[in-house]
Structure 1
Amino acid sequence: MEFESFIQSVAQQKKPGNLSRQLEALWYDGIGDWQKAHDLADGPSDRLSARVHAYLHRKEGDLWNADYWYKRAGEARPSCSLNEEWELLVKRMLEM
């Protein structure tokens, strides 16, 4: 799937099939369902899920918790905007 198609699916609120759990979490966040996004990111212990989890807590404003999850993901909290971080994560997941 290409980034523009993903963005269109968010705009139309029509979730595509065959999304990874992490990408599905970002999709739900994109449509404004933070809780569903968090529920998806909060189960697995892999680094990609931790990275999405970190972003979600940063968005929530819980920076202490976000920093914990960034560390679990092996990354530092980015200095970009939340929108830029979301886009970077989506693009990263789509390239996998």
Structure 2
Amino acid sequence: MSQCEKFELVEKIKLSPDYKITTAIFSADGCHVLTIANKDKEAQIYGLGGDESWVKKATIRRKSRILSATISSDGRHVLTINASHQLRITELQRKGLITCA
């Protein structure tokens, strides 16, 4: 028989209701979240700050709507594919970012 643990759910970030997210992906290290909103030409990247709050770290802009995006396993690159079927790999500069242990 397995034991179940109880967890306390703590909301860390809440985005504007106008920002209708269709995709949200954690980086493998759990330090970043990549979001795409419906019909949006931007991907937002949020990072875990020193006080364990989530803050917007970067915005990736494309000329047409982003259909798909993913973050690399090391959290250093974001791959986006837009409605024009163009692939782009964006390197994330870690200058000044808090790194997770």
Say whether the fold is shared (TM-score over 0.5): no
**TM-score normalized by the length of structure 1:** 0.23
Structure whose residues are more often strand by fraction: 2
Structure whose residues are more often helix by fraction: 1
**TM-score normalized by the length of structure 2:** 0.22
The structure, 1 or 2, with the larger RCO (C-alpha pairs under 8 Å, 6+ apart) is 1
